[in-house]
Structure 1
Amino acid sequence: MSARGLFVTGTDTGVGKTRVAVALIEALRAHGLRVAAMKPVSAGSMPGELNEDVVSLLQAANVDADVRDVNPYAFAEPVAPHIAAALAGVRIELDVITAAYARLAAKADVVVVEGAGGWRVPLNERADMADLAQRLDLPVVLVVGLRLGCLNHASLTAESVVHRRLQWAGWVGNHIESTMQQGAQNVAALRRLLPGPCLGIQEFIEGDVSAQKSWHWLTLPKYISRS
């Protein structure tokens, strides 16, 4: 797999992983790179329709790819991946995802992979999202949902990433609430607690965040932006 890539994970579900993944894709494209997107597992879409996160990623990427490679596992029920798979009578296989990633990597300079849920959400009875990131061997971008409790969640996730000896690309703070008490102080604490670097802080966006195309608040990891 010759393409470089990034694995976008989060401190929880609903913290803005797709928003950040799209911004990363837009920034990478602005550097003249061919960027493929991948959402290995999605949950919460009507039969015959694409998951809204997958649609956003496809619209942002500039590499034509089979949607079955972009989103190998798509489930209707908006629940944890292993539960959604069981309800559909399917077992999520890391080998299937890895093969799809390899096909995307063959076409692209960079592949941005967005995980589902948080870092340790189960995929099957043995493997979780962290195992997938380890299998793909991609640098990790952690999206921190800026709300009460984020310091604990971010610290534990970062500790797990480091424990697995995966490359740490950086973290992004995402304001998911219109107001957060002591927001600046929490961001300052995250800068001290996390390995760094901070790639950007996304302000709260009201309304349809998919319509927001600006990526200029974001800084790419240095090893990508300088290559």
Structure 2
Amino acid sequence: MSTPVYFISGIDTGIGKTYTTGYLAKLWNEQGQKTITQKLVQTGNVDISEDIQQHREIMQSGWLAEDDSKLTMPEIFSYPASPHLATKIDGREIDFYKISAATISLTEKYDVVLLEGAGGLMVPLTDTLLTIDYLVDKKFPIILVSSGRLGSINHTLLSLEALKNRGLELYALAYNLNDESQDELISKDTSDYLKNYLALHFPQAQWIDIPKIESQQLRKIPR
């Protein structure tokens, strides 16, 4: 697979993975890299992935043929919960072959694929398989989303330690400026600390600031 597939994970739920994924896709498309996004597993939806919808709104790309064919959202479960629970409620298992086949199909048409996960690295996909286990098998480089909120240093370092212990590549730490602490001192110190930690322990990894977005920048798209 010559086309790079970057896996977008976060230090916890609600950190801004979906916005980060859409923002990076928009940025890289504008820079001349034909980029598409995919959702590993979507929960809490029926038929259409709301995360893919938000990606397209941010990218201002319109609904894509790959969205209509479900290549970008191969597995959707109705209950808004961790995948291992959502699958039990819907009464069917995740089809990992279908997900992998969809990813491969996207790599044949695009220069870059951004694959957004559900929650963080240790989120269970099944009773025996964690998200990080899937990544070890696929060996995708990781873009980890963090922020300046209070407590994010601990969650970020635990996530980075997990990546190191599993031998996974950290491509970049995406610092979500939409999720800063209300205390500017905490926000600045968090940013400074994480930059220094990255330079010491993951010197090959990039630091990417994810800028603030105004709500009026997003628009509903037809599908």
2:191 is the alignment partner of 1:187: yes
- Which one-letter code corresponds to 2:78 in the other structure? A
Write the deviation string for residues 9-66 of structure 1: whole angstroms up to 9, x where unpaired. Answer: 0000100001111111112112222212110111122x34x23211123453697415
- Which one-letter code corresponds to 1:139 in the other structure? P
SS of alignment partner, residue 119 of structure 2: coil
Taking structure 1 as reference, are residues 39 and 180 closer, same or farther at Cα in structure 2, changes over 3 Å only?
farther
Does the 8 A contact of 2:181 with 2:187 survive in 1?
A: no
2:12 is the alignment partner of 1:51: no
After TM superposition, the score normalised by the length of structure 1 is 0.82
**Structure with greater helix share of residues:** 2
After TM superposition, the score normalised by the length of structure 2 is 0.83
2:160 is the alignment partner of 1:151: no
* Structure 1 unpaired stretches of 5+: 212-227
Match of 1:81 among 62, 80, 83: 83
Does the 8 A contact of 2:23 with 2:210 survive in 1?
A: no
Does the 8 A contact of 1:122 with 1:129 survive in 2?
A: yes
- Which one-letter code corresponds to 1:7 in the other structure? F
Q: Residues of 2 paired with 1:35 and 1:198: CA distance?
A: 19
2:10 is the alignment partner of 1:2: no
Taking structure 1 as reference, are residues 114 and 10 closer, same or farther at Cα in structure 2, changes over 3 Å only?
same
Count of residue correspondences:
209
- Which one-letter code corresponds to 1:130 in the other structure? I
Within a 5 Å distance, the mapping from 1:25-36 to structure 2 comes to: 25-36=25-36
Q: Residues of 2 paired with 1:26 and 1:79: CA distance?
A: 28
Taking structure 1 as reference, are residues 34 and 140 closer, same or farther at Cα in structure 2, changes over 3 Å only?
same
Does the 8 A contact of 1:178 with 1:204 survive in 2?
A: no
Taking structure 1 as reference, are residues 209 and 174 closer, same or farther at Cα in structure 2, changes over 3 Å only?
farther
Does the 8 A contact of 1:38 with 1:57 survive in 2?
A: no
- Matched with 1:38 is 38
Q: Residues of 2 paired with 1:206 and 1:24: CA distance?
A: 16
Does the 8 A contact of 2:82 with 2:124 survive in 1?
A: yes
Within a 5 Å distance, the mapping from 1:64-75 to structure 2 comes to: 64-66=65-67, 67-75=69-77
SS of alignment partner, residue 65 of structure 1: helix
- Which one-letter code corresponds to 2:122 in the other structure? R
State the superposition RMSD in angstroms: 2.3
Does the 8 A contact of 1:19 with 1:209 survive in 2?
A: no
SS of alignment partner, residue 33 of structure 2: coil
Write the deviation string for residues 158-180 of structure 1: whole angstroms up to 9, x where unpaired. Answer: 11112222221110111425613
- Which one-letter code corresponds to 1:13 in the other structure? T
Q: Which moved more, 1:140-149 or 1:62-71?
A: 62-71
* Structure 2 unpaired stretches of 5+: none
- Matched with 2:106 is 104
